[in-house]
Structure 1
Amino acid sequence: MSFAAQTTGMIDIGSNTVRLSIYRVTEAGAYRVIDQGRWPARLSQRLTADGRLPADVVAELGEVLRHYKRICRIHGTDRIRAVATAALRQAVNRDQVLAALYEETGLRIELLPGEEEARLGSLAMLRTMNVKDGFVVDIGGGSTEITLLRDRRTIASASLPIGCVNTSARFGLGESPVAQATLEAMEKDIQGKLAALDWIADYPGLPVIGLGGTVRALGKLRQRLDEYPYASLHGYEIPADRLTSAIELLSPLTVDKRRKLPGLSKDRADVIVPGLVILQALMRICGSSRIIVSGAGLRDGLFFDTCLPELPMDGEDAVAEESIRNLRALYPGAPDSHLDQVNRLSLALYDQLAPGLELPAESRRVLSAAARLFRIGAVIDYNDCAQHTFYMLMHAHWNGMTHRETLLTAAVASYRNANALRRALAGYRSLLLAGDEELAARLGMLLQLAAALDRSESQAITSLEVSVAHHGRLLLDAAASHALPVETTEVQTLAKEFKKCWGLSPVLHLV
């Protein structure tokens, strides 16, 4: 697939927040967010009793949009795509507002129908998460979009005019604690509206994949309360009982006390409770036991839809494969030819040695990902490549793996020895399963051996036969296009450490 270099600004005029994301795509096909902005607009709260958006609010919004345009201009954007959602959909003077904003800013703002908002949110999730089935839920300030996915295809979707901001206003929530009776009345009211979507009950037990500020705020709060060691929200899983306990924690507090809670955004403190009640009502109707947080949302859906509409996403591991490709394009720490050769050799070694060991099913894909990313840290500094590789893989934005799989990939890609591995994993042990440290060491040594077999980075080995001989020797019979003195020395250097992990001493023979 060919790529066109472009820089694009995406503006989401939401009911609660107006957000900007600027995305850059290079000719090599590398893409990332290069700048962001947010403004807590509370447009749903500021509609008048007769449903109009007042002139002073429109003027304030126009100033924010001009500010976002200036940021886009600084970054040399080729285009800006601005969209508006529930608050403007619901405003009776929406046509006049859109015309006034165009006059003030020069931006033609698309008024997204609820179904299109749901489609774009689902697109963002599908491009960034390896989830096959579930309910994609985007709780905004003025609406909630729900999409049913089966085998990564949309079966049904709907947009309901219930969000955290307008629900707060409807039930008269202010700065005071929220009474139990009010919580129950809110949930009953929301469940009544959700009951009209009879297709929800037809698929009980599917997970809820949550988009939007309410779910992200819940994720940040739960990570802080539960002392979760990994800061990434994308792919973070929250059991249903943790949602209930969050409501029980927040509802008795005044808004001022909520603002002081570590992990909770101050500008969401007054609308977090109604947002979570919407989520809980939906969870109960769906019969879901867990929420999967999506860090990607409407702006990401707009980006993929606008800039990379033909990005191939077929195949079981398509999300992870595309993320690996993008990371390699963003951070070219080694030639692709070398990384691909190391990957082939790693998998050849794995396929000969792993059978019978009862390794976890994900081991092979973790090894393959690590083999193609193990030199990524060299873009910072070659001499400390392993340390930088671990940090980058734990902090760079990439998708398609669980948090545990991401940690294992980073550990395997940066593996040098057992002591260094132990230090790297020390702060993340709650993410690991029993035996994962030994697994990372085994896979890390396979990767080290594969890298040694192409140490000259010439892809000289054209085929490799692997066999176990007597006296615990691992015979590596290689057909090669030239002699392998450097590779032979590297294999000999690794032999002692390899034997500690695998109980075998590798010996390279040229055939």
Structure 2
Amino acid sequence: MAGSRARKSAASVAVIDIGSNSVRLVVYEGMTRSLSPIFNEKTLCGLGREVQTTGLLASDAVEKALASLRRFRALCKVMKVGRVYAIATAACRDASNGPEFIAKAERLCGAQIEILSGPREARLSALGVISGVYKPDGIVGDLGGGSLELIDVRGSRVGSGLTLPLGGLALQDTSQKSLKRAERIVKAELTGVTQLTAGRGRTFYAVGGTWRALARIHIIQSGYPLRIMHGYSISAVEALDFVARLRRLAAADMLADIETVADARRPLLTYAALVLEYILRIAKPRTIVFSTYGVREGLLYEKLSAEQRSQDGLITTARTLNQLRSRSPRHAEDLIGWSDRLIKVAKVRETEEERRLRHAACLLSDIGWRAHPDHRGEQTMSLITNGHFGAISHQGRIFLALAIYYRYAGLNVENEAPEAVRALVTPHMLERARVLGAIFRVAYLVSAAQPGLLPATHFRSQGRKLQLIFEPKAADLVADRVNNRFKQLARLIGRSGSIVRK
């Protein structure tokens, strides 16, 4: 019931994004730190395909975009969206007929459209990455159809942004579809850019639909077990090799065989690969991280209060899922405190990030209870590994999924999680996931997922012995199964375990 009330109290919000290549509507459940998209539709219109050479938005693209905006307004009305924000990017700000198009578009979509300047578009892209990546440190590059925005980000601090006419459609237009000419343009535009020279040894955050398409191709070709674009990470060395292979495919006219990418995006892949290649050669980052959080999410993040922006995106999302799916949301909060006390008493070493992931796991630990008992482990693993989370790496996703998988499936070898999934985390993370699963198996057997019971137990350490002590009001909950599970947990952390009634 608490989850139902939470959904009703948060008015939905929509963003209409009029880009140089696509026009998109995204409706979010509410204006919160934890954005949950409930509807997402795009039309590949190609508004910017001729702007660089003619200075105009193509007439057929304009008609297609206006038809989409008419539909978007009707959809927002049907969905009873609380607030609609609308933005337009490079094509509309650069085209001489942009103001005329915007005037018609505003009448059709029923909202004022903010035409983003290049620096503002860069800033919103950076804010999107800040909202969706935990403590980012590197260069954000947002590649659209008309432009490339570059901006430095460190934690919550954003540098000055730069915009360059290197979007896929813009490059295709100015180069007259000559890849050699496009390469000369890219090299000239990117050489000496200070926003790139500061990227050495850091992370490059790739934002934008065409770069996401590159990530999708890489995921499939490499056999990577997760089909999640956000947070997908590859080394700069591997990325350079990949974009070089894509360019060879383009030279052999073999990109048409790539079925995982929309037909309208396919011709732009080569230009996206070309831009990424030169960014990697100039900036020399250590890692590429693909982000599905960009301008739209940055726009909404900017409108939150300072207190909301300071919240941890992962913990906020986990807390929301706890409210919506757990038997007792309060019990998960008890579990955080209970596991905190165990870690302290048992003197288990834990980094700040490990503590953060443990707290998130506590909040997610009961979200699979409605599934059939024989399948709760695998169902919850799928839900977490494929969930719409920000502020977590792929390794972090797998860690959370494994911890809760072990909570349901048990710790026996025959119940082991799939090797392809386990291979994505380090042996240390795998061992910690087992420990956390064992903690949950004790806690839920003690409390039956009811609040107020875990605080009636506490821990005591005597040398290598670890005790779970039951206060008088909880003494009747002691049982052989609880004792056996606690001994199993104690062994995992190098102790012997016993239960004491006080």
Q: TM-score, normalised by structure 1?
A: 0.87
2:362 matches 1:371? yes
Aligned partners of 1:495, 1:451: CA distance in 2, in Å? 12
Aligned partners of 1:29, 1:47: CA distance in 2, in Å? 36
2:36 aligned counterpart, secondary structure: strand
What corresponds to 2:38 in structure 1? 34
Aligned partners of 2:137, 2:333: CA distance in 1, in Å? 32
The one-letter code matched in structure 2 to 1:165 is L
2:290 matches 1:298? no
What corresponds to 1:23 in structure 2? 28
What corresponds to 1:244 in structure 2? 240
The one-letter code matched in structure 2 to 1:465 is F
Match of 1:508 among 490, 496, 499: 499
Aligned partners of 1:426, 1:336: CA distance in 2, in Å? 32
What corresponds to 1:198 in structure 2? 194
Indicate conservation of the 8 Å contact 1:102/1:109, yes or no.
Answer: yes
What corresponds to 2:321 in structure 1? 327
Output aligned runs, 1:26-65, within 5 Å.
Answer: 31-47=35-51, 49-65=53-69
Output aligned runs, 1:485-504, within 5 Å.
Answer: 485-488=476-479, 490-495=481-486, 497-498=488-489, 501-502=492-493, 504=495
Aligned partners of 1:45, 1:100: CA distance in 2, in Å? 20
The one-letter code matched in structure 2 to 1:5 is A
Aligned partners of 2:155, 2:449: CA distance in 1, in Å? 44
2:115 matches 1:111? yes
Aligned partners of 1:296, 1:150: CA distance in 2, in Å? 16
* 1:156-209 C-alpha deviation (Å, 9 max, x unpaired): 2111222111112222227xxx5xxx1xx5344323323463354245322111
* 1:407-446 C-alpha deviation (Å, 9 max, x unpaired): 1111112314224785423331331223543332222112
What corresponds to 1:407 in structure 2? 398
| Structure 2: 5+ residue stretches without partners | 1-5
2:477 matches 1:475? no
Instruction: Pick closer, same or farther for the CA change 1:199–1:47 going to 2, 3 Å.
Output: closer
Indicate conservation of the 8 Å contact 2:134/2:391, yes or no.
Answer: yes
1:412 aligned counterpart, secondary structure: helix
2:497 aligned counterpart, secondary structure: strand
Indicate conservation of the 8 Å contact 1:456/1:487, yes or no.
Answer: no
Indicate conservation of the 8 Å contact 1:411/1:421, yes or no.
Answer: no
Q: How far has the Cα of 1:84 moved from its partner? A: 0.8
Instruction: Pick closer, same or farther for the CA change 1:312–1:359 going to 2, 3 Å.
Output: closer
Instruction: Pick closer, same or farther for the CA change 1:199–1:284 going to 2, 3 Å.
Output: same
What corresponds to 1:337 in structure 2? 330
Aligned partners of 2:456, 2:474: CA distance in 1, in Å? 12
Aligned length: 492
The one-letter code matched in structure 2 to 1:464 is H
Aligned-residue identity in percent:
24
Q: How far has the Cα of 1:148 moved from its partner? A: 0.7
Indicate conservation of the 8 Å contact 1:283/1:289, yes or no.
Answer: no
Q: How far has the Cα of 1:72 moved from its partner? A: 2.0
Output aligned runs, 1:24-423, within 5 Å.
Answer: 24-25=29-30, 31-47=35-51, 49-173=53-177, 178=179, 182=180, 186-195=182-191, 197-202=193-198, 204-253=200-249, 257-306=254-303, 308-310=304-306, 312-314=308-310, 318-329=312-323, 331-355=324-348, 362-380=353-371, 384-415=375-406, 416-419=409-412, 423=416
1:231 aligned counterpart, secondary structure: coil
2:462 matches 1:464? no
Q: TM-score, normalised by structure 2?
A: 0.88
Aligned partners of 1:121, 1:491: CA distance in 2, in Å? 50
* 1:46-71 C-alpha deviation (Å, 9 max, x unpaired): 44843122444322211111112222
Indicate conservation of the 8 Å contact 2:49/2:170, yes or no.
Answer: yes
Q: How far has the Cα of 1:341 moved from its partner? A: 1.2
1:252 aligned counterpart, secondary structure: helix
Aligned partners of 1:54, 1:391: CA distance in 2, in Å? 44
Indicate conservation of the 8 Å contact 1:62/1:101, yes or no.
Answer: yes
Match of 1:5 among 10, 17, 38: 10
- Bigger fraction of residues in helix: 2
2:146 aligned counterpart, secondary structure: coil
Instruction: Pick closer, same or farther for the CA change 1:380–1:73 going to 2, 3 Å.
Output: farther
Q: How far has the Cα of 1:116 moved from its partner? A: 1.6
2:436 matches 1:443? yes
What corresponds to 1:452 in structure 2? 445
Instruction: Pick closer, same or farther for the CA change 1:76–1:206 going to 2, 3 Å.
Output: same
Aligned partners of 2:478, 2:19: CA distance in 1, in Å? 58
What corresponds to 1:431 in structure 2? 424
Indicate conservation of the 8 Å contact 1:19/1:37, yes or no.
Answer: yes
2:254 aligned counterpart, secondary structure: helix
Aligned partners of 1:77, 1:222: CA distance in 2, in Å? 36
Q: How far has the Cα of 1:256 moved from its partner? A: 6.5
Instruction: Pick closer, same or farther for the CA change 1:44–1:55 going to 2, 3 Å.
Output: closer
Q: How far has the Cα of 1:495 moved from its partner? A: 4.4
Aligned partners of 1:421, 1:171: CA distance in 2, in Å? 59
What corresponds to 2:3 in structure 1? none
Instruction: Pick closer, same or farther for the CA change 1:379–1:35 going to 2, 3 Å.
Output: farther
Indicate conservation of the 8 Å contact 2:315/2:359, yes or no.
Answer: no
Deviating more after overlay: 269-278 vs 100-109: 100-109
| Structure 1: 5+ residue stretches without partners | none
The one-letter code matched in structure 2 to 1:98 is I
1:253 aligned counterpart, secondary structure: helix
Aligned partners of 2:459, 2:351: CA distance in 1, in Å? 24
1:110 aligned counterpart, secondary structure: strand
Q: How far has the Cα of 1:24 moved from its partner? A: 1.1
1:424 aligned counterpart, secondary structure: coil
